[in-house]
Amino acid sequence: MRAFVETAGRTTDYAFLGPAPERLWWLGDPGLKTAFEGPTVVVRRAGGCQVYVGGIPSGRVDHQDRRRIRFNLVFDDAGWGEGVADGAGVGEDAVLGLLAAWLADAAEEPVGRRVQAVLDGEFTEAVVEDLLARPGAGSDEEVRRRLGRALGRLEAAGDGAPAGGAVPGRWFGSLRDPDARRRFLGHAAAVLAGAGGEALLLNLVRSPAAVPPPAGGGPDPGATVVLAQDPKGWDERGLVPLPRPKKVEDRQGAEPLPVRNGSRPVARPGRAARAAIAAGVVALALALLLPPALHLARRTGSTSTSTVSTGPGASGASPSASTVSRARVTPPR
C-alpha cells in the first residue's frame, strides 16, 4: 500500500512529508463523527482500500503555542501485496501492527506512547524540518524508508492479535474493552484483505445511538464495526449490534440529508417541489409589486388641469371656459 505521513513543524502548519494523497477522502464525511485531533481510525473499502490512522501524539511541540504536535498516517491500496523491504509499499501485516499498537495506546489514560516512540525515533524534529523544507516527490523515498522501519518495529511487537474475521452487520464496542479491540482488528484485517465494510474508531461517539448511519442515506457500506474511545456509562463486553439506520420516507421525491451529531435524517424538497416553490415565490413577488406600479402609472397618466391667462387684468379673475385649457394625457402602452 502507498503510505503518506502528515505532521507539523516548529512553525509550519500540518503538511505531508513528501507526496500527498490525491484526495483527502476522510475530510467532510458526515459518517465520521470524530475530531481528527484525537485518536481516529478509518479502515474501509470504497472502490479500493483506504486507511486513516490519526491523532497520534508526538513528543514535539509547536513553538508558538506549545501545543503537542501529532502524526496522521494515510494508506491506500496502490502497490498492495508489496512488502516494506522493496521500498514500493507497506504490507497488510505492517498496517495491522500499527492498528493494534495504536488501539492499545489510545485505550490507555493518558494515551500510551508505543506508536509515538517509534515515529519520533524515525521522524525527529531535525528530519521533519528538513522534509517540510523540500516537499514533493524528492523526499518520497526517505519517507517510505523511515516509515517502513517504524512499522516494522510495531509489527514485531505483536500487540493485540486479531480475533475472528469479517463481522456481518453493524456493531458497536468500547475501545477500552480488549475483546472488542480484537474483534475490531479481525474485521479490519478482513477489510484489508478484500472484504467489504469498514472499521472505525470515532472519538465523538458516546453510545450506539450516536453512531451516524451510512453517509447521505446511501447504501450501507457493508459490515461495520465502530469503537468508541470513551462511551458514556458503557459496561458491555465485546460487540453489540447497532440499531438499524432510520431512513426518511420520501413520498414527493425528497432527498435525505446526511445525519450529523446523531440527529435523525431531515428531508429536503425534491427537484419538482423546489421548482414549485420558486414559481410561488415569483408569483408572490409580482402580486406585491405590480399593484403599486399600476397605481403610479394611472396617477401619472390622469387628466391634468392648468390655468392660462389670456388677457390683462386676468390676475385674480375666476377661470372660465375661455381662460381654461384642459389637456388629456394618454399613458404610453
List CB contacts of 27: < 8 A, sequence separation 6 or more. Answer: 36
The confidence score (pLDDT) of residue 84 equals 42
- Check residue 288 and give its pLDDT: 75
pLDDT of residue 134: 85
Identify the CA nearest to 71 among candidates 39, 26, 35.
Answer: 39
Burial class (CB in 10 A: 0-12, 13-18, 19+), 148: buried
Angle at 116 between CA 111 and CA 120, to 5 degrees: 155
Q: What is the pLDDT of residue 90?
A: 85
Q: What is the pTM of this model?
A: 0.70
Identify the pLDDT of residue 225: 93
Count of Cβ atoms closer than 10 Å to residue 177 Cβ? 20
Q: Where are the domains of the chain?
A: 2-246
Supply the pLDDT for residue 304.
43
**Residue 24 to residues 4, 21, 130: CA-CA distances in angstroms?**
11, 7, 24
Place of cell 427537484: 271
Would you state the cell numbers that stand for residue 326, as one nine-digit string?
A: 384642459
Which has the closest alpha carbon to 221: 62, 24, 65, 45?
A: 45
* Residue 330: per-residue pLDDT: 46
User: Which residues does the chain have with pLDDT short of 50?
Assistant: 79-87, 216-219, 248-269, 303-333
Burial level of 248, CB count in 10 A (0-12/13-18/19+)? middle
CA proximity to 59, closest of 116, 122, 144, 138: 116
The predicted pLDDT at position 251 comes to 27
Give residue 215's pLDDT. 54
| Model pLDDT for residues 135-146, shown as the tens digit of each residue | 766 788 899 999
- What three-state secondary structure class fits 143? helix
User: What is the predicted pLDDT for the residue at 255?
Assistant: 39
